[in-house]
Amino acid sequence: MKRCAKWIIGGILLAGCLVQLWQPERTNPPVAPGEDFFASNAPPAEVTSILRAACYDCHSYETRWPWYSKVTPLSWWVVDHVKEGRDRLNFSEWPHDRTRKARSYYRGIQEEVEYGKMPLPSYTWMHAGARLSEQQRQALMEWAEEQVELLQGGADDE
């Protein structure tokens, strides 16, 4: 019986090591000049700091891949979260010349923060710097609302 248990444990350990060889691709594509959000938008310093700390890892091509993004199966989960985040909102591909789309993104930012959906609790659990205080949440929501109002008078492109 002990011999069988050793083989089972050994097999599990070997499988755990082999699965590490199957890693998803962690990418940070280059950001085209003038495409990044900050290229033409200059939010207040506090908002810039909040966006960099709480949003940019999942919503831009400037992801800082943590050590655990190299450990299977966590790597699959992290890469999937970043891919989904970039698909929903990507600060590295900001629609500078598409007013309606930009307005929609600002509204989305405001709503996600207001209802506590962003940043994700699973992200803030490991990234204390991304946890937003009520004051930071308020600053981000007010800034996003101001941007929506500024773009209300802009021409719609779509």
Work out the average pLDDT over 135-146: 95
Could you tell me the pLDDT band of residue 74, with boundaries at 50, 70 and 90?
confident
pLDDT digits (tens, 9 = 90+) for 103-136: 999 999 999 999 999 988 888 888 888 899 999 9
Using CA atoms, how far residue 138 sits from 46, 71, 81, 115, 131, in Å, is 11, 36, 25, 12, 13
Residue with tokens 């207040």: 44
pLDDT digits (tens, 9 = 90+) for 49-72: 999 999 999 999 999 998 888 888
Q: How far apart are CA 12 and CA 44, in angstroms?
A: 52
Q: Shortest CA distance to 132 belongs to which of 150, 113, 145, 115?
A: 113
Q: Is the pTM of this model over 0.85?
A: no
> Average model confidence (pLDDT) for the chain?
85
pLDDT digits (tens, 9 = 90+) for 28-54: 898 888 788 888 778 899 999 999 999
